[in-house]
Amino acid sequence: MINREWHLLSRPVGWPKPEDFALVETGIPQPGEGQVLVRNEYLSVDPYMRGRMSAAKSYAAPYELGRPMQGGAVGEVVASEADGFAVGDHVLHFGGWREYAAVNGSSAVRVDPAAAPLPAYLGVLGMTGLTAYAGLLRTASFKEGDAVFVSGAAGAVGGQVGQIARLKGASRVIGSAGSDEKVRLLTEEYGFDAAFNYKSGPVAEQLRAAAPDGIDVYFDNVGGEHLEAAIGSLNLGGRIAICGMISVYNNTEPAPGPKNLARLIQTRGRIEGFLVGDHYDLQPEFVREVGAWVRSGELKYRETFVEGIENTLEAFLGVLRGDNTGKMIVKL
């Protein structure tokens, strides 16, 4: 009985390289008191994981070298030493990047595969979905009638942000993405009013054309040129929620900041970063409201699947490259 798990061997400099990682064979762990043994069925790979590969102090502890990495996963309980969990239950937990995980019952959440497909608990009804919900409604203080711009809008978080804004009464929703195919997805399936391919020209020019009356909210997944362009189009009292800055995650030198920050003075604009972990109090409201939209078909979502534990690293690198449409998920 073999368990395969991904270990970080060295801390990447710039873009992660295959030699920074190893897929290691170990024995299947046994659950201790208060733990459950989970056979993982789906793993999540997310941009924030790049930061955990660095030793720099951050909001999450760095991955330990020579130890299995962690990430979101859903799977079936195959042994239980924890009250409230039985063999055959399905749980959401953070013992990903491996086939079997012994996890504390206190950190596992039972999920119902009859209520929603298991992968949905890693995306639209999971951490990425709550990130979109909390970032837009609480951090960016969205209100009906706002014009909203979302970067990385074809990703798991961005696509949901734009749709929630539309369902909540935005006057206009604009998104940026990295291909013409993703742009069509945003306008034809997700209901964005306008979208553009950021590779087709300067972001500031394309944003002004898509939002000639400016924007009230910018949800930032990208940083860099996108953030500067959003500041340039911000209306009076505009708000910017910083969720991620994937454009600079692999930089080896500090990225320069926006050159037009002074514009926040005349617009009385606000920029605020946030972490989803600070907003778990919204979870019941989020599941109730977004779950209803998913069931009714009002909120649509996409998932990109990569098969096999051996392809987990390539799936992660694909997220950094923007290969995914919607949530990137590894199916074991």
Q: Using CB atoms within 10 A of its CB, is residue 74 exposed (0-12), middle (13-18) or buried (19+)?
A: buried
Which residue, among 294, 302, 323, has the nearest Cα to 188 in the 3D structure?
A: 302
Amino acid identity for residue 204 in this structure: A
Model confidence pLDDT, tens digit, residues 14-45: 999 999 999 999 999 999 999 999 999 999 99
Q: Alpha-carbon dihedral of residues 193, 137, 264, 191, nearest 10 degrees?
A: -10
What pLDDT, on a 0 to 100 scale, did the predictor assign at position 252? 65
Extract the tokens encoding 142.
């969205």
- φ/ψ of residue 285, rounded to 5: -65, -40
Q: Which residues contact 242 (CB under 8 A, 6 or more apart)?
A: 220, 223, 227, 271, 272, 273, 274
Tokens representing 121 are: 């608990």
* Of 95-104, 242-251, 262-271, minimum mean pLDDT range: 242-251
pLDDT at 254 over 80: no
Residue 107: both structure tokens together: 């950190």
Nearest to 271 by CA among 255, 258, 254: 258
Q: How far apart are CA 89 and CA 35, in angstroms?
A: 13
**Which tens digits make up the pLDDT trace of 290-321?**
999 999 999 999 999 999 999 999 999 999 99
Confidence of residue 208 (pLDDT cuts 50, 70, 90): very high
For residues 195 and 151, what is the distance between their CA atoms, to the nearest angstrom?
A: 10
Token look-up 């290691």 returns: 24
In this prediction, residue 115 carries a pLDDT of 85
Beta strands, E only, 118-254: 147-150, 172-177, 194-197, 215-220, 234-242
